[in-house]
Amino acid sequence: GLKAKVVSPTSLNQVWGAYATVSDAFGYVYQDGGHEFYVLTFPTANTTWAFDASTKEWAERPMTISSTFPARHRASCYAFFNRMHIVGDYSNGKVYELSATTYTDDSDAITRQRIFPHAYSEKDRIRLKEFELDCETGVGASNITISWSKDGGHTYSATTFDRSLGAASAYKTRLVVRSLGIARDWLFKISMTGAVKAVIRDAIARPRNEQTK
């Protein structure tokens, strides 16, 4: 009695359609923290995507393998056993537990990257006063690199800014970049590599004429 429903947006379908091979794709489903994930790996394309059924959003789930980033996720099989999410590593045969409170991949650093939506004005160029990242701070020593594009994501700023998440318990730390200049199309990118908890809630790009609290 169930009916199939398309959950992949047109933009993502175009990405997958450009892969040389999709017939070898495989997936698995698991639930964690009130979310249900469908994880889809394309071995030939060397990439992995995950769909969150609760938020209806897709995200790439890459790893760094043999100095290559992004690369497909190591998990090639899945089982829920003894209240643990168990996965098998396709490259070395190891078995791991997937855990939201483990901040490394088998002791290797996890690279996290997010690109925010475009801030675009067809009529006037936008002069930005500052960009503030709203995330959980005070989680331990780690930096977030903030860069931006003014040409639709083709290139990013040569000068990037590193902002510290703050030492443990420094919960009032703010991540702000100022004096950004002017552009018609803004696109911000952040990246972080560190064995700490990473919670990104939002980002705020404030125009020059907007008041800052």
Q: Is the peptide bond before 62 cis (omega within 30 degrees of 0)?
A: no
Contact 127, 182 (CB under 8 A): yes
- The token duo for 189 is 């990118």
Q: How far apart are CA 63 and CA 110, in angstroms?
A: 7
Can you give the pTM of this predicted structure?
Answer: 0.80
* pLDDT tens-digit map of 138-151: 887 777 889 999 98
- Condensed to tens digits (0 to 9), the pLDDT of residues 2-53 reads 888 899 999 999 999 999 999 999 999 999 989 999 999 999 999 999 999 9
CB 132 within 8 A of CB 176: yes
CB under 8 Å to 22, separation ≥6 — which residues?
16, 42, 45
